[in-house]
Structure 1
Amino acid sequence: MSGYDVVVCGAGVAGLAAACALGALGHRVLVLEKRLMPAPVAKGEVLQPGSLAILRGWGVTDLLERAGAVRLSKLVARAADGRPRMVLDYGRLPTDQPWLLAHDYPSILEALTGALPSGVEVRRGVVFDQPLWTAGRVTGVRSDEGDIPASLVVAADGITSRMRTAARLSTERHDYAHRLAAFELAGADTVDRDVSAYVTEDGLRVHYPLPRGRVRLYVQVAPDELRDLEEDGLRRWAERVLGGCPGLAPLASVFRDGLARKQVLPASRSLADSLVVPGLALVGESGHSMHPMAAQGMNSAIADAHELATVLRQGGSLAPGVVDHALRRYDNARRIDLGRVGRVSHNAARMIISRSRLAQRALTGTGRNDRIRHEVMHTVSGLGVRRLTLLDRLHQLGLPDPRSTRLPTWARAR
């Protein structure tokens, strides 16, 4: 097999985003995927404004909106009874799309697939084993259909990436001590159009609306909390969840009805020591993972694809030396941003999940400080990383801030 400029390993959001971005440059791209059909997982459903700007350029945003995607206006951390403790109002963002967009993961994949340029081919049911090497450089992919040479290989095969391992790229994965139980609740039309995260004595609870009157609900659980629970045990567990979070009362009936449709998902954070070797780049969870609290995982994968295409376009060709120089620039730029965004996601998770005094003071302090809250929102939205100083951290913990009501310049301009 020959004739491909780029081979992308994996057809999740990261892989399809890479195919959209690189195909738009005029490259002939082959996407390999071992699954015949996408897995119906309860993840990667909320798109940030920074991602929407990228997706609009590829024609994906319009496809999602036509498919019924829901616009969400805010990300709100709430007390267990529903009272807001920190509100990120996306309407203040300096962008043409100051909102989040929510849809099912398979629908997002379908929109990305529908927007693929004509030079992109997707081949499903193909198992890929490892990169092909020539003189210390990746020059293609070995698959069960034969060797496929390419000028660039993109590994987008997920958190347990075989391609990353075969390329001898290492990552240290830190698993959180909890899981997230995901439920799809039908018939919940009264939920506000925002992402609501509740701080409770028993951990995180998050919900947001999906198309067709549905709601996604996540409940923090211990690793074995739901294992082997029969129907009666699951119902008793649900009553404890509802009792510990009165803010979920409007969802009580549909929550009880949706208990059988649950998925239990792990939560972890990681960042590979390098995102590249000569001839190969990691995108998405093959290179990094984040706690889902701040809705950054899928959005970071889209940013990966956009940055990879940007540096390759600037290089001007797919000659080996040019590609490898571009990959070094990609690695440097993305690892810096991913490190900062990962810290924001981790700190956001700690503020909501932890019952420590420091975490709760940080949440309260951030919620009351207009300036810092808006800087955090800018980073979370994907419009650009805003660094918080050590003094800002102290202000979050309660040190008086004379600038707390003085919005950043970008917010005042809105």
Structure 2
Amino acid sequence: MSPDVLVCGAGVGGLAAARALGGLGLDVLVVDKQPRIRPIAKGEVLQPGALRLLRSWGVEQRLDAQGAVRLGRLVVRDPRGTALMSLDYGQLPAPDQWLLAHDHTTILTALAEGLGPRVELRRGVRAESPLRDDSGRITGLRLAEGGRVYEERAPLVVAADGISSRLRTWADIEAKRIDYPHRLVSFDIADAEAAARADDFSAYVTDRGLRLLYPLPGGRLRLYLQAGPDELRGVTARGGLADWATRALSQVPALEPLTASLLAHLDTRQTLPVGRLLSPRLAGHGLALVGEAAYAVHPMAAQGMNTAITSAGALAERLADRLERMGGMSAAAVDGALRDYHERQLPLLAQAARTSGNAARMVTDLSWRGRILGRRAVRHTGANPRLLHTVTHNMSGLGPRPLTPLDRLQQLGLVPDPRAHRVPAASAGRPQSM
């Protein structure tokens, strides 16, 4: 029997969409071209907005049982470790007062284990081409698995196949990826003593760009070092990489004590290109975009994986509403839900993209103009409790509170803010960090 929904891509966006849509009582088939989950240094920090959904699905509980690390703050620091801007999640309503950190593979496995009986996951399956009806509406995919090619039809197809999405192209949706003028070099460092002291998501502002650090389960740390696009070209020998890594930490006194641990884990290096993308359309006839097929951002603000999860939940909400009103997975009901999804979710993604882009520029832009504006924005936002609360709420994914043009001027310290200390009281929960 054909499924109600065919999801292409078993990353966070695809698995979240499958779980959310399967929870409506629909039969869902998920396919992914990779035969197994690949370990990659991305998608490791979950925001409160995404955790709300994961909690309702039992996924947060699975991650907690496997040692997930709870973080109370997202902090921008100077090289000596002094906090310049601290987003305190303890100011948010309970229970949404934490970030949650775990390995990407563990998060994917927890999602897959919680898919439910109405969802089937097939790995090692490649989408070859779309299937369409006489009107041009996408009605399924031609799939290749092993040595056979077959057709799978469904009233709804979900494109969750990444930033270079083939399905997005097949739906004639043009979305331009814009690469940042740098890369991030990631290391997985085992240092139980240092990991025990790390209780937040810390971004260090340096003259050479971002240095990002947060703890992972098992007494480990994730360290990202910003590098120019060609900075590591030709650095293949261990000695050359060791010299580069040592110099990268030598300019950050707060991180320099990690040098020995970093040098012991050079073989964990992953070099990641960094790009951003926001699709102008989140849906076509019969097809929805979720995850990086729709939206990709710089990892500095921990937004990409989280918006993938909340977008999957939003798609399911829109479809549930249409099914209640119209009954059955008709083309009219599905396409109506897709229109609703696009109209309601695109402004939220655009707001998240601005928030993430601004946060990334504050600490990664090495141009003279970027350094001046970025440092001013960090300093003045960090000294303004009202703006801090607004930015924290936006980062958390609990609902957008757009910054006004006046707020932007106040972030740069160009005009005073007489309301700077008007901050909503935190709900009962964990004590606020100082």
Task: Please confirm whether the aligned pair reaches a TM-score higher than 0.5, indicating the same fold.
Answer: yes
Whether 1:311 aligns to 2:299 is no
Verify: 1:336 aligned to 2:340, yes or no.
no
Which ranges of structure 2 fall in alignment gaps of 5 or more residues?
A: 430-434
Distance apart, 1:223 and its partner CA: 1.4
1:227 Cα deviation (Å)? 2.5
Cα distance in 2 for residues equivalent to 1:42 and 1:363: 26
For residue 401 of structure 1, what is the aligned residue in structure 2? 417
CA distance in 2, matches of 1:84, 1:188: 23
Deviation, 1:352, is 1.2
- Note if contact 2:4-2:156 (Cα within 8 Å) is conserved in structure 1: yes
Secondary structure (helix, strand or coil) at the match of 2:125 reads coil
CA shift at 1:363, angstroms?
Answer: 0.8
1:390 paired with 2:405, answer: yes
The within-5 A match list for 1:284-299 is 284-299=291-306
Q: Distance in 2 between matches of 1:231 and 1:224?
A: 17
Alpha-carbon distance, 1:260 to partner: 2.0
- 1:23 and 1:29 in contact (8 A); partners too: yes
Secondary structure at 2:418 match in 1: coil
Q: TM-score of the superposition, structure 2-length normalised?
A: 0.93
State the aligned residue count. 412
Q: Deviations over 1:319-350 (max 9, x none)?
A: 11011011011011111001010000000011
Among 297, 304, 307, the residue aligned to 1:300: 307
1:412 to partner: Cα distance: 7.6
With 107-116 and 190-199 compared, the bigger mean Cα shift is at 190-199
Q: Secondary structure at the match of 1:146?
A: strand
Task: Letter of the 1:29 partner, please give it.
Answer: V
Report if the CA contact (8 A) 1:47-1:299 is conserved: yes
- Equivalents in 1 of 2:150, 2:193: separation in Å? 51
The equivalent position to 2:359 in structure 1, one of 341, 348, 354, is 348
Instruction: Give the structure 2 partner of residue 140 of structure 1.
Output: 140
Give 2:19's aligned residue.
Answer: 20
Equivalent residue runs for 1:9-408 within 5 Å: 9-134=8-133, 135-144=135-144, 145-190=149-194, 191-229=197-235, 230-316=237-323, 317-355=328-366, 356-398=371-413, 399-407=415-423
Identity %: 51
Q: Residue 241 of structure 1: SS of its match in structure 2?
A: helix
8 Å contact from structure 1 (residues 157, 286) kept in 2: yes
Counterpart of 1:143, as a letter, is: L
Question: Retained in 2: the 8 A contact 1:189–1:214?
Answer: no
C-alpha distance after superposition, 1:205-230 (max 9, x if no partner): 00100000000000000112122211
TM-score computed with the length of structure 1 as normaliser: 0.97
- TM-aligned CA deviation for residue 67 of structure 1: 0.9
In the TM superposition, what is the alpha-carbon distance from 1:410 to its structure 2 partner? 5.8
C-alpha contact 2:303 2:395 (8 A) present in aligned 1: yes
Q: Secondary structure at the match of 1:216?
A: strand
Q: Distance in 2 between matches of 1:17 and 1:122?
A: 12
1: CA distance between counterparts of 2:265 and 2:32?
A: 31
Distance 1:171 1:140 in 2: 22
Cα distance in structure 2, aligned partners of 1:268 and 1:90: 27
Partners of 1:8 and 1:156 within 8 A in 2: yes
Uncovered stretches (5+) of structure 1, i.e. residues with no partner:
none
Q: SS of 1:219's equivalent?
A: strand
**Contact map agreement 2:68 2:217 (CA 8 A) in 1:** yes
Equivalent residue of 2:164, what SS? Answer: coil
Cα pair distance change 1:410/1:3, threshold 3 Å:
farther
Q: Distance in 1 between matches of 2:177 and 2:94?
A: 34
